[in-house]
Chains A and B, each alone.
Chain A
Amino acid sequence: GNSVTQMEGPVTLSEEAFLTINCTYTATGYPSLFWYVQYPGEGLQLLLKATKADDKGSNKGFEATYRKETTSFHLEKGSVQVSDSAVYFCALRTLQGAQKLVFGQGTRLTINP
């Protein structure tokens, strides 16, 4: 079946540090890949997406590249801010079957000033 594995958190960094949150997936067919962000007490917001191999999604300084050869979609940001503190979810969706979103377990990120 389809699944998503994220690096375990929590992750704690200092402001302006480089961020990587790893995400790998297992899927049949050709999934689209997403990163969502959840701020405390809120729902999920779409951060970025990529729909085919080698696509790069980007938003608010975050980037992730769809790597089919390594089945990965790692999230990166060159210089994090305190306001980036949140929980980040990697997810996939295929066009086959029920077309459901499958989420990773989430990675809690804390940025210290």
Chain B
Amino acid sequence: DGGITQSPKYLFRKEGQNVTLSCEQNLNHDAMYWYRQDPGQGLRLIYYSQIVNDFQKGDIAEGYSVSREKKESFPLTVTSAQKNPTAFYLCASSLLPGQGFYSNQPQHFGDGTRLSIL
């Protein structure tokens, strides 16, 4: 079955440590996204990518980094510069918005990674 796989489901970070969250999709989607969700709040966009080897900052990119070396994969690194990393992180993918049938395609989400501080 096609879908988006995020791993691990739970992750713990020590002080001064970088951690990487995995996101893989087999939907043949061009666009991929990372969101952060805090309790009682909506989703905020961290980074997104519409094509391999290219990505753009979202609304809250500080303290995060990404790479897009393969179409299927969009890992997110939470660096030590991110002072408040505890949150639920969601990865999503979609076909590129465009004309006709592909206009405004919905995003498909993974099951998320919950990151906590030790």
Residues of chain A touching chain B, judged by Cβ–Cβ distance below 8 Å, are 4, 32, 34, 36, 41-46, 49, 51, 89, 93, 95, 98-101, 103-106
Given the complex, which residues of A lie within 8 Å of B56, measured CB to CB? Answer: 98
Q: A98-B48, A105-B40, A105-B42 are in contact. Are A49 and B97 (CB under 8 A)?
A: no
Count of residues in B whose CB is under 8 Å from the partner chain: 23
Query: Quick check: which of B11-19, B60-68, B75-83, B102-110 contacts chain A, the rest being far away?
Result: B102-110
Most buried by B among A44, A95, A104: A44
5 closest Cβ pairs, A-B complex: A32-B104, A43-B109, A103-B42, A44-B109, A105-B42
A68 to B45, CA, bound (A): 26
Is B84 an interface residue, CB under 8 A from the partner?
A: no
Is B112 an interface residue, CB under 8 A from the partner?
A: yes
A84 to B48, CA, bound (A): 31
Chain B proximity of A34: nearest CB distance (Å): 6
Task: Return 5 A-B CB contacts under 8 Å, by A number.
Answer: A32-B103, A100-B48, A104-B42, A105-B40, A105-B42
- Select one of B48, B92, B104 contacting A95, CB under 8 A: B104
Residues of chain B touching chain A, judged by Cβ–Cβ distance below 8 Å, are 4, 6, 33, 40-43, 45, 48, 56, 58, 90, 92, 97, 103-104, 106-112
* Contact between chains at A89 and B111 (CB < 8 Å): no
- Select one of B40, B45, B104, B109 contacting A45, CB under 8 A: B109
- Select one of A43, A49, A104, A105 contacting B112, CB under 8 A: A43
Q: Which residue of A lies closest to B90 (CB)?
A: A43
A86 to B64, CA, bound (A): 29
Q: A95-B97, A98-B56 are in contact. Are A89 and B42 (CB under 8 A)?
A: yes
Most buried by B among A32, A43, A95: A43
Given the complex, which residues of A lie within 8 Å of B42, measured CB to CB? Answer: 4, 89, 103-106
Q: Which residue of A lies closest to B99 (CB)?
A: A95
A95 to B105, CA, bound (A): 10
Q: Which residue of B lies closest to A33 (CB)?
A: B104
Q: A98-B56, A104-B42 are in contact. Are A93 and B90 (CB under 8 A)?
A: no
